[in-house]
Each structure stands twice: as C-alpha cells, then as structure tokens.
Amino acid sequence: MIRTSNAVAELGAGALFDAGMPLAGELRPLLWGVLDESRSVKAQVSAELGLPESSGKILVEADHNLQIIWKHVSADSLARQVFQEKFCALNSARAQLPSPSHTAIARIIYLREAML
C-alpha cells in the first residue's frame, strides 16, 4: 500500500533519466550529428556566427552558439527530422523498462491518491 499523507512530489531530471529521456548534456552530440549530416544548415549556422565552416562538434562547443543552432535546426524540416530520429533512438535504447519513479507515480494516480 502506498500512503501519500498529503505529500507534494517534485520530479527532477533523475526521474526522466531513469525513464530513458536524454538529459540536456546529451543533446550537444545529437546537434553536432545533425549539423554534420545537414551541410546547408551547418553553412547557415557558420555564416550567422561569422565562423568558417567546421565540424558540428566545434560549432556546438560554445554555449552562446546553441540558440542560433536550435533556430536553424528547427527551421529546416530535414534537419529537425534527423534530430528527432536521433533523439528517439537514444531514448528507445535506454527506455526498455518503466522507471521505478514512473511506476510509483502511476500507482498513486491509479489509486486516486494524487490530485493533478
């Protein structure tokens, strides 16, 4: 039996990691893979940053470049699709079983012990 005793539950990134969701630090390698696969987006990003065209890994190293990279990846349907496929593959590789955190939350909700 699960007793909540009017508790408040706060979920952080740890619960999502156990469930297979990629964390923020794992997004850079996905982005540089997208840039290396999409030469046109890489060229656009390099031009906007005023940098010579180089590997995607070099372009994603600086934090201030990320907003520009996200803008171009989201605006290009093929690049966005490549990112989504890479994200899903990483998630699927790790999400073979439900996480203990999500199982416990599902039980609490099923028993109507939580207000949403």
- Give the rounded percent of residues in the chain with a pLDDT score beyond 70: 68
Mean pLDDT score of the chain, rounded to an integer?
Answer: 79
Mean pLDDT of 67-80: 95
- The model's confidence at residue 103, banded by pLDDT at 50, 70 and 90, is confident
CB-facing half-sphere around the CA of 87: CA atoms within 13 A: 15
Mean pLDDT of 75-86: 95
Query: For the whole model, what pTM was predicted?
Result: 0.64
Q: Tell me the domain boundaries of the chain.
A: 23-110
- Two structure tokens written together for 62: 């600086």
Q: List, in order, residues 6 or more apart from 93 with CB less than 8 Å away.
A: 20
